[in-house]
A and B are shown apart, each in its own frame.
Chain A
Amino acid sequence: AQTVTQSQPEMSVQEAETVTLSCTYDTSESDYYLFWYKQPPSRQMILVIRQEAYKQQNATENRFSVNFQKAAKSFSLKISDSQLGDAAMYFCAYRGISNFGNEKLTFGTGTRLTIIP
């Protein structure tokens, strides 16, 4: 079974600074997807960024980028130029693609990010 670990329950960063959230995972599969989701107080899970394991290039979405280290099974999220609206719970998630229908997401326990004005 796949597991996802987020070892930082809480992080804080000054507005406009850069912060990195850590995530490690365990799987025996060779191909899969990894995600970072943001959950603000509104409770809705919002996709931040997605990485396909077969792609060596790290995904980037505007101020958000990842450092994907497949051999180390590490998937960190870097947020540049932090903004007040970035404050939320951030969840790392794994999804396998080895079987049709095997589309469940396995989440970590989350990191609460606070932005200091």
Chain B
Amino acid sequence: DAGVTQSPTHLIKTRGQQVTLRCSPKSGHDTVSWYQQALGQGPQFIFQYYEEEERQRGNFPDRFSGHQFPNYSSELNVNALLLGDSALYLCASSLVGKGYTFGSGTRLTVV
């Protein structure tokens, strides 16, 4: 049973560019959440998707957007990248009301 798969594992982008990160949830899970983890910090909630809609959003600017597809996979898009967007981006999937399964993350470096 595959767990949560994230791609790519590492990414280097230039300030001002746009980036798309991808997440395939654990089999049977229908909810996907995204977290940003800056170096030395705990993960911060970005947003959560359920039934292809954004259900809840954390304190992140509109430069951060997402999408969930009918097969429950999800994308996180970040526009106009800033140096401060450099972080580990974690995807977590779950069934409504159940526990999370996390992926291993995408390490984004903005130069």
On A, residues with C-beta under 8 Å from B are 4, 6, 37, 42-47, 50, 91, 93, 100-110
- Pairwise interchain contact A45-B43, C-beta atoms closer than 8 A: yes
Identify the stretch in B11-19, B61-69, B78-86, B95-103 within 8 Å (CB) of chain A at 4 or more residues.
B95-103
Interface contact tally, CB-CB below 8 A:
61
B interface: dominant SS: strand
Instruction: State how many angstroms separate the Cβ of B28 from the closest Cβ of chain A.
Output: 17
A interface: dominant SS: loop
Contact of A101 (CB < 8 Å), options: B40, B56, B103: B56
Chain B residues bordering chain A, tally (CB within 8 A): 27
CA distance A107 to B42 in the complex (A): 6
- Pairwise interchain contact B45-A104, C-beta atoms closer than 8 A: yes
B33 within 8 A of A: yes
